[in-house]
Structure 1
Amino acid sequence: MTVDLVGPLWRTVPWRVLAVAGALGLLIVGTPLATGAEPASWQTLLLLRGAALSGGLGLAFLLDDPARHLTAPVPTPRLVRQALRAALVAPFAALWWAAVLLLTPSASRPPVGGITLEAVAVGAFALAAAALAVRLTDEARPGPFVAASLLLAAVLGPLLAPEDWALFVQAGDPRWPLAHERWAVLAAATAVAGAVCGPEPLGRRRGR
């Protein structure tokens, strides 16, 4: 039964990596509070985006599985196993993001819904990239490559995106609502892509 996989999957989740990424995100947003600084709204937004990226880098390692080649023949589909991993981590990710928001000064905090949507999209992108790496390769630990890809996307995205399709806008910018419609589309598209990449290719399954 699927529920019987919870224990084994719990033990294979890279909790240490996730904890380090989460601690880094809290450190990023907690710096002004620790130093007594009063950041401007654009600075707080930048810190929150840095924390979201840190969380995404941790999620890039979520599908790493040293025992991947031993678990491939089990009857439970790989997509279900991956979904269970995400479900195990989701409550902790939600609590972590709530702590991230609480550490930011309320006076300069951007709209919570918008920045949370950005964080969800980053996490969805990381998981979709990890699922794609697992599907296309036999690598048991594709996390480092996926994390590097996420960093590259974070750097090149703002540089290569057309002006009319800007995603990283300031909270006071008139384009903020439209930009977050695009973030919603991005989050949904990457979630669908991750689900599509979940099942093991038929040819590879037959080979095994």
Structure 2
Amino acid sequence: MPRALLRPVWRTLPRRALVAAAAAGLLLAAVPRMQSGPPDPQLGLFALRAAALAFGLGLAFLLDDPARHLTTAVPVRRPVRIGLRVALVLPWAVLCWTTALLLVPAPARPPAGDLTLEAAATAVLALTAAALMTRRTLITEPGVMTSTWLLCTAAAAYLLLPHDRTLLVTPDDPRWQTTHTHWALLLAAATAVGLRACTDPVRARLRPRLSS
């Protein structure tokens, strides 16, 4: 049954949002290459973080499904339907992020593994927020609200958090490793909440039994 869903799920993917986000992210990542003069590590760091946010904003639209209330009747559980969407987009997301890393000149490129951790946490936060919104509401297209939340959260983290509590440190900061331990914890927590949010609501599971 999941294999039979591949084609319809593929057709309902929000391609425009994903392509627009990928284009914006890659354009941001290419900014350091457009700079005249020696490579600037600060600009490379900013460009990759901006690209990660752009990719996350695109993934916020992944669960948009105008036919959501019709597909709930199919005999395939919600985690499988969401998992198919993620599986179809994951190679594209990995390709985009790898390209973004390579677009930044090596002398200006921050540690790739640590920035990949930040990008993964941002992406999972976007997907988790969208999954929570579809689980708790009747919204069929949570992308706009989710992307707005993600953008506001990123702006607040950058502008409002005290300097000693920020997650957005530079590689020369002695807190770099500690901060990325926090990023790893954030990724683990978001993943756990996201997996829970992808399950069928209790009421939805009980409704067929009650109707029978």
TM class by shorter-chain length? over 0.9
Q: Is residue 2:200 matched to residue 1:189?
A: no
Distance 1:178 1:3, change over 3 A: same
Question: Which residue of structure 1 lines up, in the alignment, with residue 69 of structure 2?
Answer: 69
- 1:157 — aligned with what? 157
* Matching residue of 2:128: 128
Identity of aligned residues (%): 47
Match of 1:94 in 2: 94
Give the conservation status (yes or no) of the 8 Å contact 2:31–2:47.
no
Deviates more, 1:30-39 or 1:40-49: 30-39
Give the deviation of 1:38 after TM superposition: 3.9
- The amino acid across from 1:148 in the alignment is T
Aligned to 1:104: 104
Give the partner amino acid of 2:88. Answer: L
SS of residue in 1 equivalent to 2:30: helix
Name the TM-score, length of structure 2 as normaliser: 0.93
Quick check: 1:32–1:38 contact (8 Å CA) kept in 2?
A: no
Distance 1:23 1:109 in 2: 20
Distance change >3 Å, CA 37–CA 94, structure 1 → 2 = farther
Deviation track 1:28-81 (CA, whole Å, cap 9, x = no partner) reads 111232354544211110110000000000000000001101100111111111
CA shift at 1:163, angstroms?
4.6
Q: Using the alignment, how far apart are the partners of 2:86 and 2:101 within structure 1?
A: 22
Pairing 1:179–2:179 present: yes
Give the C-alpha shift of residue 159 in structure 1: 4.1
SS in structure 1 at match of 2:108: coil
Moved more, 145-154 or 158-167: 158-167
CA displacement at 1:188 relative to structure 2 = 1.1
The CA RMSD measured in Å over matched residues stands at: 1.5
Aligned length: 208
What are structure 2's unaligned runs of at least 5 residues? Answer: none
Measure the CA separation in 2 of the matches of 1:132 and 1:163. Answer: 30
> Following the alignment from structure 1 to structure 2, what is the Cα–Cα distance between the partners of residues 85 and 135?
16
Give, in whole Å, the separation in 1 of the partners of 2:37 and 2:86.
36
Q: State how far apart, in whole Å, the 2-side matches of 1:140 and 1:179 are.
A: 36
TM-score, normalisation: structure 1: 0.94
Contact 1:44–1:110, Cα closer than 8 Å, also in 2: yes
Unaligned runs of 5+ in 1: none
- Look up the match of 1:13: 13
What is the letter of the counterpart of residue 84 of structure 1?
L
Residue 204 of structure 1 deviates from its aligned partner by: 3.8
Question: 2-side partners of 1:30 and 1:38: how far apart?
Answer: 15
Counterparts of 1:4-43 in structure 2, within 5 Å, are: 4-43=4-43
SS of 1:172's equivalent in the other structure is coil
